Structure 1
Amino acid sequence: MSRADVRDEPAGEPAGGARDPLAHPGPGAARTPSPLWSFGLFRSELLTTFRRWRTLALLTVLAAVPVLVGIAVKIETSDGSSLGGGGGGGEGPAFISQISNNGLFLVFTALAATLPFFLPMAIGVVAGDAIAGESSAGTLRYLVVAPAGRSRLLLTKYATVVAFCLAATLVVAVSALAVGALLFPVGDLITISGTRITYAEGLGRALLIALVVAASLVGIAALGLFVSTLTGSGIAAMATTVGLLITVQILDQIPQLDALQPYFFSHYWLSFADVMREPVYWDDLVKNLGLQALYAAVFGSAAWARFTTKDITA
């Protein structure tokens, strides 16, 4: 949120601050913001988030991943040989064997390469800093006395993080699409099921995959926002969120925990590959989206319960 949007204390309050508006607001303090004011708050928060150098650096790194993958594949196949891809199933690295035949597969490969760590790490950084960053900067106390109130401010913060999820995913997809078209041939493509679809339909499926990947990140976004309400240090919140991400990723690879793994937010992330089947295989996709909605509901509620009851001193 722009620092210019931090409202001064309402007229009529004692200059010395005899009453703490954050501790016990009087009955006359309740105000209902208009929808236009709420949209302005969201727009201001978006502009502030996407203007930060940290955010721009994260997006630049994400955009560079498809470039590096595309160049590596181009060099590897420059002598006319084909890449040894994954062995079927089409998940993750298996797409890489198809890039030299059709540049559109670079989109799927780049998303598979960034989803396990780079994308969620970027989301964790932005989400972890959402509330704790304002607290460490000393602006949170003034934001919550603005007409938005705590609940609306928290919802705006989460909406901004979700918007960043979509933006970060699209940056990877668009970068991969451009590099793929520049370095490799494009045209009709073969699905995992062996059927041929047109390039236009392939673009449509690439967009659908990008939306699925963005939706796959709303769980870690809610978790990061909850962690952000627990501390007044932005760095600590970001480090904790990324640490939890790494821990869950490790636990998801331990065979002895197979009974618990379907409940980890990262377990079904690579199910987006099922969009490239003919017909689309929806089972794991639906499980993934349902799991993300559950994480968003649980940790979003926990963040609301924590944020609306905590004492804010900074």
Structure 2
Amino acid sequence: MSRAEVAEAVQPVRPVSPLWTFGLLRNELVTTFRRWRTLALLAVLAGVPILVGIAVKIETGDGSSPGGGGGGGPAFISQITNNGLFLVFTALAATLPFFLPMAVGVVAGDAIAGEANSGTLRYLLVAPAGRSRLLLTKYATVVIFCLAATLVVAVSALTAGALLFPLGDLTTISGTQISFAEGLGRALLIALAVAASLIGVAALGLFVSTLTGSGIAAMATTVGLLITVQILDQIPQLNALQPYFFSHYWLSFADLMREPVYWDELAKNLGLQALYAAVFGSAAWARFTTKDITA
């Protein structure tokens, strides 16, 4: 038995109150969102919609259409000049394939491995939280980061869109008109759908984080797996496997801009993310609860 296990064994068994659990979650959130790395990631995410908006504004300064006149598609880029709210949808489509999951992968990969690397993991386990509760708190923190990162992109895009382009009623992909207020509601639903699309990556990153004591290695491995899966998702010969890749249905959020809304692929995406969260969350728990913590 290691010294860490001995230290855990000699601790008196004390009931853990819900207030203590919420306090642990609060401390994790404060620690995560105070890190310069986290703030830098959020700053980059906030900057992407601004850059996209400025680029579209410059490109359409002579009256031409953005993207060479191409229309439709999940990026909605051809509609930005008519309504700045479309910048929200375009920014989420632009950041979802790489920027958002990369940021989540960095935070998730560092969740356990970073504590082990800094030597604080053993002291966290001595506290009355226990391994299962600590792992659940870590995952909850990463999931909250998924939501925060998505909202940062959406709010930044909405602000830039309002400053650079007119606002008003929206034309859906189906060609129907909806009010600006309903468009804002659709934008919020899309942001929530995008955040939910990242919970599979969060669970994968947390599992990788339990496999190593190096935060950098865990982050690099998670981001590497993310890039690899998305490359495989573009190879036609793997079309039989692609519906099971966590990134396959990410852009299904565009169906929320149809009238009526198409729910089929959205439901498949949410179900797939829940499956990844269950599988890799269970794997992370199995690994972490039996791991020999020596630092």
User: Is 1:271 aligned to 2:252, yes or no?
Assistant: yes
User: Is 1:249 aligned to 2:230, yes or no?
Assistant: yes
The corresponding residue for 2:147 is 166
Count how many residue pairs are aligned between Structure 1 and Structure 2: 294
Query: TM (normalized to structure 2)?
Result: 0.97
Alpha-carbon distance in 2 for matches of 1:52, 1:254: 38
Amino acid at match of 1:106: L
Check the 8 A contact 1:128/1:238 in 2, yes or no: yes
Alpha-carbon distance in 2 for matches of 1:184, 1:19: 62
User: Is 1:202 aligned to 2:202, yes or no?
Assistant: no
The corresponding residue for 2:33 is 50
Alpha-carbon distance in 2 for matches of 1:32, 1:86: 61
Q: Quick check: which has more Rg, 1 or 2?
A: 1
Deviations 1:70-97 (A, max 9, x none): 0000001111222235444x323xx000
Query: TM (normalized to structure 1)?
Result: 0.91
The corresponding residue for 1:81 is 64
User: Is 1:298 aligned to 2:282, yes or no?
Assistant: no
- Greater share of helix residues, 1 or 2? 2
Between the two proteins, what is the percent identity of the paired residues?
A: 84
Check the 8 A contact 1:165/1:214 in 2, yes or no: yes
Deviations 1:82-117 (A, max 9, x none): 2235444x323xx00000000000000000000000
Amino acid at match of 2:90: T
Post-superposition shift, 1:31? 2.7
Amino acid at match of 2:293: I
**Aligned counterpart for 1:142 among listed residues 123, 126, 130:** 123
Q: Which runs of 4+ in 1 moved over 6 A?
A: none
Post-superposition shift, 1:244? 0.1
What pairs with 1:4-15 in structure 2 (closer than 5 Å)?
A: none
Amino acid at match of 2:62: D
Alpha-carbon distance in 2 for matches of 1:38, 1:310: 22
Check the 8 A contact 1:85/1:96 in 2, yes or no: no
> Structure 2 unaligned runs (5+)?
none
The corresponding residue for 1:6 is none
> Structure 1 unaligned runs (5+)?
1-17
Alpha-carbon distance in 2 for matches of 1:190, 1:286: 24
Alpha-carbon distance in 2 for matches of 1:150, 1:47: 20
The corresponding residue for 1:99 is 80
Q: 1:19 to 1:224 in 2, by over 3 A?
A: closer
Post-superposition shift, 1:306? 0.2
Alpha-carbon distance in 2 for matches of 1:109, 1:158: 28
- Aligned-residue Cα RMSD (Å) equals 1.5
User: Is 1:214 aligned to 2:214, yes or no?
Assistant: no
Check the 8 A contact 2:11/2:126 in 1, yes or no: no
User: Is 1:34 aligned to 2:39, yes or no?
Assistant: no
